[in-house]
């Protein structure tokens, strides 16, 4: 063996390469209910690309999610295989009782407390790409277009350009001849643009593991409700995006597996419960005009539920006072409170360990945002569709489907736990995710 050949062999031996690795494209459709695919014909939906997973791959009847069933905690579980208690992303927005962070979200991957699939793939010597996945700023993805926004102005484009992988936005914009979508834009037009950028990234760089997030269905279901003509029209356009993504991935990697996931389902909404108003009336929050002056207990709202945070978590008298306020609210039929749980039950559900209580609302009712704290405790909703309830109910279950070389055709996986998805994807990649709380699913 010559010197150069010997050197090349030594370098190859020192480089971690996953055994029997298969490239994976992981697509998330925010808010996709499994029934919209499984019962597409019955619901009048034309979804040829999504329906393909049912015949050519394996699929779940439903996915039981995490507490709360919100986008950011769920997407982090989809990448880590652990619940929020362990991965540290407890809601969409960070806890901000004084409303000082300008509606700041959990954008930053540094907040995730355990390794992700991006980390595991990189450790296995695989290349990684990402387009718009939640909690991805600073993620361990070689080609990263993270999700973030601030003011919704032109400066947001500069922000994404600065936080994305160096030169990636400019490279793909030049290739496609169009600007990248604004982070705050959740329209179907923006999803179609992100689809084009995802395809361009796959063609140019061929990542071994790629994550792509599409958000317009969630946006439309919040605005108009689930199972509406408007939501169906958006989903049919997303189906076309998925078809193009699959084609691009298989052109780049003929042996690739395609994982299709969602974060939660949806409930139609008819009423709203305003915990901020209730806590202000109880003297637990003190106002100075329209701003919070001080607080002893505050809700951390999550759509169909709310974590209740105490300023002094070890203060038994304060906890008893807050419990009494919550029980009084629950006794009022107009608030539609389904259950109130404490720390032990929160821990069992692997939810936010910093919350002293968690309140779940009945289907059809959502939590009112702080912006409307001056409104009534119970009233008309500001959205017609919502999620964020405790996991488990059929309408809130999310989606998991998988196709590719070696994946069983037409295999019904039943109802699964969301925490099983990440270790399943890791096994396809030939990567290791040792922190995962469940084993990989049998998809062969």
- pLDDT, residue 81, reads 98
CB 90 within 8 A of CB 301: no
**What CATH class does 19-266+393-429 carry?**
alpha beta
- pLDDT, residue 20, reads 59
- pLDDT, residue 12, reads 38
**DSSP E strand stretches across 73-217:** 128-131, 143-145, 209-214
CB 432 within 8 A of CB 120: yes
Give the integer Cα–Cα distance in Å for 213 and 132.
5
Give one DSSP letter per residue of 386-426, joined into a string: E--SPTTSGGG-B-EEEEETTPPTTEE--EEEGGGHHHHHH
Residue 108 per-residue DSSP state: B
The residues spanned by each domain of the chain are 19-266+393-429, 271-382
pTM (whole model) above 0.85: yes
List the beta bridge partners of residue 421: none
Question: What interhelical angle do 48-56 and 229-252 show, nearest 10?
Answer: 60
**Is the dihedral angle over the CA atoms 12, 14, 20, 21 positive or is it negative?**
negative
Q: Name residues whose C-beta falls within 8 Å of residue 417's C-beta, 6 or more positions apart in sequence.
A: 63, 64, 438
- pLDDT, residue 222, reads 98
CATH T-level fold of 271-382: Gyrase A; domain 2 (3.30.1360)
Q: What is the mean pLDDT of each run of 10 residues along the chain (444 residues)?
A: 40 42 97 98 98 98 98 98 98 95 95 98 98 98 97 95 98 98 98 98 98 98 98 98 98 98 98 96 95 96 98 98 98 98 98 98 95 86 97 97 96 98 98 97 96
Give the integer Cα–Cα distance in Å for 309 and 298.
5
Give the integer Cα–Cα distance in Å for 213 and 232.
18
């Amino acid at each position: 063996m010559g010197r150069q050949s010997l050197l090349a062999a030594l370098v190859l031996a020192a480089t971690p390469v996953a055994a029997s690795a298969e490239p994976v494209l992981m697509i998330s459709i925010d808010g996709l209910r499994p029934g919209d695919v499984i019962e597409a014909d019955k619901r009048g939906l034309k979804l040829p690309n999504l329906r393909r997973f049912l015949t050519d791959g394996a699929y779940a009847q439903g996915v039981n999610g995490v507490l709360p069933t919100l986008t950011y905690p769920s997407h982090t579980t989809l990448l880590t295989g652990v619940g929020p208690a362990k991965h540290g992303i407890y809601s969409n927005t960070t806890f901000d009782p004084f409303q000082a962070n300008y509606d700041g979200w959990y954008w930053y991957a540094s907040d995730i407390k355990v390794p992700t699939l991006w980390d595991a793939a990189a450790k296995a010597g695989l290349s990684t790409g990402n387009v718009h996945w939640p909690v991805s700023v600073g993620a361990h993805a070689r080609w990263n277009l993270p999700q973030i926004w601030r003011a919704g102005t032109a400066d947001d484009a500069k922000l994404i350009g600065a936080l994305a992988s160096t030169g990636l936005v400019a490279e793909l914009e030049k290739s496609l001849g169009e600007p990248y979508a604004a982070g705050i834009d959740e329209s179907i037009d923006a999803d179609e643009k992100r689809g084009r950028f995802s395809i361009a990234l796959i063609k140019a760089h061929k990542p071994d593991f790629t994550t792509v997030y599409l958000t317009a269905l969630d946006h439309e279901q919040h605005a108009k409700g689930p199972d509406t003509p408007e939501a169906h029209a958006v989903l049919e356009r997303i189906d076309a995006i998925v078809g193009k993504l699959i084609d691009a991935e298989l052109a780049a990697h003929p042996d690739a597996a395609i994982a299709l996931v969602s974060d939660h389902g949806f409930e139609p909404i008819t009423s709203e419960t305003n915990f901020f108003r209730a806590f202000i009336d109880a003297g637990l929050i003190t106002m100075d005009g329209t701003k919070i002056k001080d607080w002893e207990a505050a809700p951390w709202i999550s759509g169909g539920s709310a974590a209740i945070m105490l300023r002094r978590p070890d203060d038994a008298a304060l906890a008893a006072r807050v419990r009494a306020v919550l029980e009084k609210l629950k006794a009022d039929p107009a608030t539609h409170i389904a259950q109130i749980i404490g720390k032990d039950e929160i821990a069992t559900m692997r939810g936010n360990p910093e919350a002293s209580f968690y309140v779940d609302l009945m289907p059809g009712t959502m939590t009112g945002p702080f912006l409307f704290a001056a409104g009534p405790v119970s009233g008309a909703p500001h959205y017609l569709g919502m999620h964020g309830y405790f996991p488990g109910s059929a309408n809130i279950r999310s989606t998991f489907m998988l196709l590719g070389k070696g994946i069983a055709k037409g295999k019904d996986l039943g109802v699964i736990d969301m925490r099983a998805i990440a270790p399943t994807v890791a096994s396809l990649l030939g990567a290791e995710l040792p922190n995962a709380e469940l084993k990989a699913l049998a998809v062969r």
